């Protein structure tokens, strides 16, 4: 999907502006729980991290996974189970979730990178559905009910996560660490190679890169970070259910990216905020969420493929790149 992602050529002024906006955003997030219902903001943050993890794969490697719910929801199950059944502390549960997601990512990625493009998407979707059926049948997920009543516990035995504000700042910290990690990956030499694969896979092969390994590495990293988000969500909401492993969830994270802007750092965050906000609004209105998300999908694909942040970049921040982008 490289043709519509942004050129990474920007002016010094726009870089300064970006950092200013990032600082402003972080400040807003620190202040947010005093103005907005904290649980809601935490939900947004978890989904935003999930969306950013997904973007590492789609936006920067050019791989469309239709199965990322496996990592998000799978990690939630692992974490919830470890914390509830084995009495693990939350940090260990989250790490286990992340590790489990990475492992699932390794298996799914290993199979899926054997095919490209549209087939890659279908394979990930099918494997995720397989995981879904597994979760439906496996006893540890407690079937339709899900794992309920997961204790939040206290972080490192010190910070009591049952205090909402504590929980909030831990989630914020996890979110910032996760996004920072993605930012570092994307801007590392490794990230450059990922981008060259996205731009032209055959050229990357002819340059001597073992493209398969890079793709797999990106897939596993993306899965692990998606797992971080899912496991954190399980601690925040104290449950893990089938909802998070459905194909609808895999679709939702694609929508967040598409709406916000594929291949931009901020886009997935904005997209996640909007999608979660929209769902919250619709939940009380009686208008079916699926219809709304479906319509947004269609509109985005037809007329708005850069997404909100992508459009802003293209129009105001990188006018030089805009012309080339068509």
Partner 1 sequence: MTMIFGIPIQALLGQLLVGLINGSFYAMLSLGLAVIFGLLRIINFAHGALYMLGAFIGYLLLVHVGIGYWPALVLVPLAVGLFGMAVERAALSRLYRIDPLYGLLFTFGMALVIEGVFRFYYGVSGNPYAVPALLAGGTNLGFMFLPNYRGWVVLASLVVCIGTWLLIEKTRLGSYLRAATENPELVQAFGVNVPLLLTLTYGLGAALAGLAGILAAPVYQVSPLMGSDLIIVVFAVVVIGGMGSILGAIVTGYMLGLAEGLTKVFYPEASNLVVFVIMAIVLLLRPAGLFGRDA
Which residues sit at the interface with partner 1, rule CB under 8 A?
A: 1-4, 64, 111-112, 114-119, 121-123, 125-127, 129-130, 133-134, 137, 247, 251, 254, 258, 288-291, 293-298, 300-302, 305
Distance between CA 99 and CA 78 in Å, rounded? 9
**Shortest Cβ distance from residue 193 to partner 1 (Å)?**
21
Q: How many helices (H) and strands (E) does the chain have?
A: 14, 2
CB of 131 to partner 1, least distance (A): 9
Which residue, 101 or 254, is less far from partner 1 as judged by CB?
Answer: 254
Q: How far apart are CA 235 and CA 231, in angstroms?
A: 7
| Residue with Cβ nearer partner 1 (38 or 109) | 109
Cα separations (Å) of 20 from 25, 201, 242, 246? 9, 35, 40, 38
Dihedral angle of Cα 221, 269, 259, 314, to the nearest 10 degrees: -100
**Which residues face 147 on adjacent strands?**
240
CB of 76 to partner 1, least distance (A): 21
Looking at the DSSP bridge assignments, the partners of residue 177 are none
Tell me the C-alpha distance between 170 and 94, whole Å: 12
Give the nearest distance from C-beta 301 to partner 1 in angstroms: 4
Pick 137 or 284: Cβ nearer partner 1: 137
What is each CA distance from 237 to 11, 39, 208, 216, in whole angstroms?
42, 8, 46, 31
In terms of CB distance, is 232 or 244 closer to partner 1? 244
* Packed helices 69-85 and 211-237: angle between N→C axes, nearest 10 degrees: 50
Smallest separation (angstroms) from partner 1 to the CB of 262 = 10
**316 DSSP 8-state letter:** I
CA 89, CA 152: separation in Å to the nearest integer?
8
Q: Shortest approach of partner 1 to residue 67 CB, angstroms?
A: 10
Residue 190 or 247: the one with the smaller Cβ distance to partner 1 is 247
Cβ closest to partner 1, residue 10 vs residue 305: 305
Q: Give me the least distance between CB of 56 and partner 1, in Å please.
A: 17
Residue closer to partner 1 by CB (options 26, 107) is 107
- How many whole angstroms separate alpha carbon 85 and alpha carbon 259? 38
Instruction: Please give the Cα distance from 219 to 58 (Å, whole number).
Output: 10
């Amino acid at each position: 999907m490289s043709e519509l992602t942004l050129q990474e050529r920007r002016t010094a002024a726009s870089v300064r502006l970006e950092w200013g906006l990032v600082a402003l955003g972080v400040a807003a997030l620190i202040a947010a729980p005093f103005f907005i219902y904290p649980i809601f903001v935490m939900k947004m943050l978890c989904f935003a991290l999930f969306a950013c993890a997904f973007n590492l794969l789609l936006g920067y490697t050019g791989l469309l996974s239709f199965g990322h719910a496996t990592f998000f929801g799978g990690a939630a199950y692992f974490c919830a189970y470890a914390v509830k059944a084995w009495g693990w502390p939350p940090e260990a549960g989250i790490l286990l979730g992340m590790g489990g997601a990475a492992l699932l990512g390794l298996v799914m990625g290993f199979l899926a990178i054997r095919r490209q493009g549209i087939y890659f998407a279908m394979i990930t979707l099918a494997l995720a559905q397989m995981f879904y059926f597994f979760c439906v049948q496996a006893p540890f997920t407690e079937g339709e009910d899900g794992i309920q009543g997961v204790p939040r516990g206290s972080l490192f035995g010190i910070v009591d996560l049952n205090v909402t504000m504590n929980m909030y700042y831990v989630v914020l910290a996890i979110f910032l660490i996760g996004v920072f990690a993605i930012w570092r990956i994307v801007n590392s030499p490794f990230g450059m190679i990922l981008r060259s694969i996205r731009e032209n896979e055959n050229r990357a092969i002819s340059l001597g890169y073992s493209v398969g390994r890079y793709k797999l590495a990106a897939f596993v990293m993306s899965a692990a970070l998606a797992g971080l988000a899912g496991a954190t969500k399980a601690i925040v909401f104290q449950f893990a259910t089938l909802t998070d492993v459905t194909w609808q969830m895999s679709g939702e994270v694609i929508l967040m990216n598409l709406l916000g802007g594929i291949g931009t750092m901020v886009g997935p965050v904005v997209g996640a905020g909007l999608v979660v906000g929209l769902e919250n609004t619709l939940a009380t209105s009686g208008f079916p969420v699926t219809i709304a998300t479906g319509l947004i999908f269609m509109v985005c694909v037809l007329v708005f493929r850069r997404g909100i942040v992508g459009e802003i970049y293209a129009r105001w921040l990188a006018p030089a790149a805009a012309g080339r982008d068509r």
